[in-house]
Amino acid sequence: MCEHDHEHNGAIIWQDLTVANAAGIKNFYADVIGWKPRTVEMGGYLDYEMLSPGSGEVEAGICHSKGENSNLPPQWLVYIKVENVEESAEKCKNLGGEVIDGPRKLGEGTFCVIKDPAGAVAALYQD
């Protein structure tokens, strides 16, 4: 995940997709959208950053459903910056939602994945 120190709380700061066959799915998005995949070493396997065909900027990630990520749902997951992941996770549960992963470390920050009372899923991220 890229550094997002300049992003404000409440901003969508990242998006990725975690699936069993990340190598095949990255090719699907490369063909459909034109994204250019760049490998990211994950300690025994490769995940992918997907680069914009025009600017070369990293637009998203496509990751294997392995290890700590094995229980993430196979859907595009947006990451929303929050002040405090643990507090937000507790509020989620208190308001009828569910924490389906974490809170745990991710890079230099902390994140969790929540499901709201309607069943929609999002990740919360704290620098």
In tens digits, the chain (127 residues) has pLDDT values of 544 445 799 999 999 999 999 999 999 999 999 999 999 999 899 999 999 998 999 999 999 999 888 989 999 999 999 999 999 999 999 999 999 999 999 889 999 999 999 999 999 999 9
Query: Do strands 12-19 and 76-81 pair parallel, antiparallel, or not at all (unpaired)?
Result: antiparallel
112 and 82 co-located in one domain: yes
Displacement of CA 123 from its chain's centroid (Å): 7
47 and 86 co-located in one domain: no
How many domains, the chain?
Answer: 2
Query: Do strands 98-106 and 109-115 pair parallel, antiparallel, or not at all (unpaired)?
Result: antiparallel
Alpha helix ranges (H) inside 1-114: 22-33, 85-94
Which residues does 71 contact at the CB level (< 8 Å), separation at least 6?
100, 101
10 and 49 co-located in one domain: no
88 and 127 co-located in one domain: yes
81 and 127 co-located in one domain: yes
Domain hosting 42: range is 21-64
54 and 31 co-located in one domain: yes
